[in-house]
Chain A
Amino acid sequence: MALLEIRDVTRRFGDFVAVDAVSLSIDAGEFFTLLGPSGCGKTTLLRMIAGFDQPDSGRIELDGRDMTGVPPEERNVHTVFQSYALFPHMTVAQNIAFPLRMAGCPAADVAPRVQEALDDVSLVGMDRRFPHELSGGQRQRVALARALVNRPKLLLLDEPLAALDAKLREKMQLELITLQKEIGVTFVYVTHDQEEALALSHRIAVMNKGRVEQLDQPQTIYSAPRSRFVADFIGECNLLDCTVQSSGDATLQLDVDGLGGVRATGPDTAKGRTGQRGTLALRPEKVSIARELTAADCTNRFAGKVFDYLYTGDVTLYIVEVDGGRRLEVMLPNNAVGRSSKFFEPGDAVQVGWRDDAGHFLED
């Protein structure tokens, strides 16, 4: 049985439907992420799981028990807030001891458990500091230790890394994965950062306008997005309007507006539906770029010229204008084997191409 069952939950604020008939099932020990742009309903859903808000309809079950009307203080669920919400008048040790004291933990057990929690987040020796004496990363760890000290069934994390700089964020991501594995508590993680979601999660629910657009493992979300929204939201993606011309065993023959014939994979439902309109989703890193491409590598090939490029260190993102006017984004690793050190310059004549399984057809 799943640890957390969200059954057909809807939450309205006036005319605005923040969460629209969402059903999710989260297993014990899972690192589950709610991913979506701001206003997609992910935080509202999180607050309902925590108990700060109640669904207008539907219900939330934790460990088989209906949580309707159970206030936050009586739920075995803790939250790591975006602002951390550490108590400024308490030391690190007092902050971490807070949930233990509230739960009526015997005084003699408090100190050793606080030490254990400090050890879990590598903050030993910091117990007498006040929150304002800590760095952003350390505050984050105190918030984690405080939320985990009495081993909740479920830990909710509301954009916990948003306030940290990029370098520290990466470090904390690795620590979060390790911590979650070590203590085995189920994490429900809310973020708008798709890279973070892909890096951390066992499963991701991509949310948009209060609905779950896709619920899958990170690899599936990335390589086989189910809607134009998901493809656009997760990573860089070329989204090209197209029509299904015919379908083979494994691939679809598409007519891409302003480009021409392209072969791509697609959902089974699109098979045989000639004339079906949709979107070709094509990841920039799956597109090759060279002066001359061979048919062996790229079954779909187009000539064009470089319009512009973005150099980002490890990769360069080229914007190529294909003959016919379409612009495609093409990503080229800067350390690619056999790649000349010379960049393509804007105006250079190039060929772009990709394999049949690189593109993915999405029905409208």
Chain B
Amino acid sequence: MSPRAQKWLVTGPPLVYLLLFFAIPTLIMVVASFRYAGDYGGLAPLFGSGDPDELAGLTLESYQRFFGDPIYLELFGKSFVYAGVTTVACLALAYPLALTIARSPKKWRDLLVLLVILPFWSNFLIRVYAWMIILGPQSAFARGFNGLLALFGAGPVPLLFSPIAVLIGLVYVHLPFMVLPLYANLEKHDPALLDAAQDLGARGWARFWRVTFPLSLPGVYAGAALVFIPALGIFAIPDILGGTDSILIGNLIKQQFLDSRDWPFGGTLSIVLTAIAIAAAGLAAWFARRRPQ
């Protein structure tokens, strides 16, 4: 086989995969975002019949609408804040867990990792609905929480259908995506490095901040990208756990396609979201590469 053919054999399948599952659907959305909406949903024809009243061909209408009203950019901003808070909360919760698993005896590690991914085996929606019960006003959790607030003189607050519930749901659903890359990274650390740091005079926290944490940054970036990007576009959790004021950009996009039947505007929102997600992933990759491993 010629080297040229070998090269294609290696790079070909991933290329086809990317083309089929990423490039073509995205391109369809890009084109859709520049078209008119059809009268009964879907898209207006690209080539009109010649009727001057008929909407056909390409237009910037959807983009004008998006950039013309600050409410859409505000919603993007709000989604960014939710995704960002989710990412930080996941990192704070996942790091100690991943570190504990990575430093536990070898025979326990696989079992502990299995426990982390165990929730994936039951349906995502069922797990989110379970949180409705946990956060509901009659639940022990909500009563305990409000009882605690009462001790400080604060009035009872409803947990369910609030931004707090949305955030809890977002963190809960995305936590394993932070734990796994962190664990994969931390597990590979050479324990001799910590011995060396201690030997050279570093106390507990200095060992963590100067050795463990900097070495785990590629894992942190990978986990952050895996949490931030899906959290940015999610709609099911705000739908189920959020109130009327907790809709995020994902809900808006879903509405355009399923309720308002405005495909071009939904496409526009999707394209902007995709562009932002790619930028975020690129930024994470760039940060990760700056660190030699």
Bind each other: yes
> Chain A interface (Cβ within 8 Å of chain B)?
50, 52, 71-73, 77-79, 81, 83, 85-89, 98-99, 102-103, 130, 132, 146-147
B253 to chain A, nearest CB (A): 40
- A102 close to B192 (CB less than 8 A): no
- 10 more A-B contacts (CB under 8 A) besides A72-B198, A73-B199, A81-B192? A52-B198, A73-B200, A73-B203, A85-B190, A85-B193, A85-B195, A98-B202, A98-B210, A99-B200, A147-B200
Whether a CB of chain A sits under 8 angstroms from the CB of B70 is no
Instruction: Compute how far the CA of A73 lies from the CA of B190 in the bound complex, rounded to whole angstroms.
Output: 19
For A131, give the chain B residue with the smallest CB separation. Answer: B292
CB-CB under 8 A for A102 and B200, given A52-B195, A85-B190? yes
**Which B residues from 181 to 207 make CB contacts under 8 A with A?**
190, 192-193, 195-203, 206
Please list 16 pairs of residues, one from A and one from B, whose beta carbons are closer than 8 Å in the complex, sorted by A's number.
Answer: A50-B199, A52-B195, A52-B198, A52-B199, A77-B199, A78-B199, A83-B190, A85-B192, A87-B193, A87-B196, A87-B197, A88-B215, A89-B214, A89-B215, A98-B197, A99-B201
- A83 close to B192 (CB less than 8 A): yes
What residues of chain A lie closer than 8 Å to B7, measured between beta carbons? none
What residues of chain A lie closer than 8 Å to B198, measured between beta carbons? 52, 71-73
Q: Which 8 A-B pairs have the closest CB atoms?
A: A102-B201, A85-B196, A99-B200, A85-B192, A72-B198, A79-B199, A89-B214, A73-B201
Against A, the Cβ 8 Å flags (1 = close, 0 = not) of B269-293 are: 0000000000000000000000111
Instruction: Compute how far the CA of A58 lies from the CA of B196 in the bound complex, rounded to whole angstroms.
Output: 25
B242 to chain A, nearest CB (A): 41
- A103 close to B196 (CB less than 8 A): no
B72 to chain A, nearest CB (A): 42
- B200 close to A88 (CB less than 8 A): no
A335 to chain B, nearest CB (A): 44
Name B195's contact: one of A81, A89, A132, A147 (CB within 8 Å): A81
Instruction: Compute how far the CA of A78 lies from the CA of B198 in the bound complex, rounded to whole angstroms.
Output: 10
Instruction: Compute how far the CA of A103 lies from the CA of B211 in the bound complex, rounded to whole angstroms.
Output: 16
- A88 close to B292 (CB less than 8 A): yes
B211 to chain A, nearest CB (A): 6
B197 to chain A, nearest CB (A): 7
For B206, give the chain A residue with the smallest CB separation. Answer: A102
> Chain B interface (Cβ within 8 Å of chain A)?
190, 192-193, 195-203, 206, 210-211, 214-215, 291-293
For A130, give the chain B residue with the smallest CB separation. Answer: B292
For B193, give the chain A residue with the smallest CB separation. Answer: A85
- B200 close to A146 (CB less than 8 A): yes
Instruction: Compute how far the CA of A146 lies from the CA of B293 in the bound complex, rounded to whole angstroms.
Output: 20
- B192 close to A89 (CB less than 8 A): no
Majority secondary structure, B binding face? helix
For A98, give the chain B residue with the smallest CB separation. Answer: B200
For A133, give the chain B residue with the smallest CB separation. Answer: B292
Instruction: Compute how far the CA of A71 lies from the CA of B207 in the bound complex, rounded to whole angstroms.
Output: 14
What residues of chain B lie closer than 8 Å to A83, measured between beta carbons? 190, 192
What residues of chain A lie closer than 8 Å to B201, measured between beta carbons? 73, 99, 102-103
For B213, give the chain A residue with the smallest CB separation. Answer: A89
Name A78's contact: one of B200, B211, B291 (CB within 8 Å): B200
Instruction: Compute how far the CA of A72 lies from the CA of B293 in the bound complex, rounded to whole angstroms.
Output: 27
A41 to chain B, nearest CB (A): 19
What residues of chain B lie closer than 8 Å to A102, measured between beta carbons? 200-202, 206
What residues of chain B lie closer than 8 Å to A52, measured between beta carbons? 195, 198-199
CB-CB under 8 A for A73 and B193, given A130-B292, A132-B292? no
CB-CB under 8 A for A87 and B211, given A52-B195, A72-B198, A81-B196? yes
Instruction: Compute how far the CA of A89 lies from the CA of B197 in the bound complex, rounded to whole angstroms.
Output: 13
Instruction: Compute how far the CA of A52 lies from the CA of B292 in the bound complex, rounded to whole angstroms.
Output: 29
For B200, give the chain A residue with the smallest CB separation. Answer: A99
Instruction: Compute how far the CA of A166 lies from the CA of B164 in the bound complex, rounded to whole angstroms.
Output: 65
- A89 close to B291 (CB less than 8 A): yes
CB-CB under 8 A for A72 and B199, given A81-B192, A88-B292? yes
Instruction: Compute how far the CA of A40 lies from the CA of B193 in the bound complex, rounded to whole angstroms.
Output: 25
What residues of chain B lie closer than 8 Å to A146, measured between beta carbons? 200
What residues of chain A lie closer than 8 Å to B200, measured between beta carbons? 73, 78, 98-99, 102, 146-147
B192 to chain A, nearest CB (A): 4
Instruction: Compute how far the CA of A27 lies from the CA of B214 in the bound complex, rounded to whole angstroms.
Output: 40
For B191, give the chain A residue with the smallest CB separation. Answer: A85
What residues of chain A lie closer than 8 Å to B193, measured between beta carbons? 85, 87-88
- A79 close to B196 (CB less than 8 A): yes
B21 to chain A, nearest CB (A): 35
What residues of chain B lie closer than 8 Å to A99, measured between beta carbons? 200-201
For B292, give the chain A residue with the smallest CB separation. Answer: A130
Instruction: Compute how far the CA of A79 lies from the CA of B195 in the bound complex, rounded to whole angstroms.
Output: 9
What residues of chain A lie closer than 8 Å to B211, measured between beta carbons? 87
Instruction: Compute how far the CA of A187 lies from the CA of B176 in the bound complex, rounded to whole angstroms.
Output: 48
Instruction: Compute how far the CA of A132 lies from the CA of B211 in the bound complex, rounded to whole angstroms.
Output: 16
Instruction: Compute how far the CA of A71 lies from the CA of B204 in the bound complex, rounded to whole angstroms.
Output: 11
A53 to chain B, nearest CB (A): 11
Instruction: Compute how far the CA of A73 lies from the CA of B201 in the bound complex, rounded to whole angstroms.
Output: 4
Instruction: Compute how far the CA of A146 lies from the CA of B200 in the bound complex, rounded to whole angstroms.
Output: 8
Instruction: Compute how far the CA of A364 lies from the CA of B63 in the bound complex, rounded to whole angstroms.
Output: 96
What residues of chain A lie closer than 8 Å to B202, measured between beta carbons? 73, 98, 102
What residues of chain A lie closer than 8 Å to B215, measured between beta carbons? 88-89
For A71, give the chain B residue with the smallest CB separation. Answer: B198
What residues of chain A lie closer than 8 Å to B192, measured between beta carbons? 81, 83, 85
A12 to chain B, nearest CB (A): 21
Instruction: Compute how far the CA of A221 lies from the CA of B265 in the bound complex, rounded to whole angstroms.
Output: 88
For A147, give the chain B residue with the smallest CB separation. Answer: B200
B116 to chain A, nearest CB (A): 26
B287 to chain A, nearest CB (A): 13
Instruction: Compute how far the CA of A81 lies from the CA of B293 in the bound complex, rounded to whole angstroms.
Output: 20
What residues of chain B lie closer than 8 Å to A87, measured between beta carbons? 193, 196-197, 210-211
B291 to chain A, nearest CB (A): 6
Instruction: Compute how far the CA of A87 lies from the CA of B214 in the bound complex, rounded to whole angstroms.
Output: 10
Instruction: Compute how far the CA of A72 lies from the CA of B207 in the bound complex, rounded to whole angstroms.
Output: 13
Instruction: Compute how far the CA of A343 lies from the CA of B205 in the bound complex, rounded to whole angstroms.
Output: 66
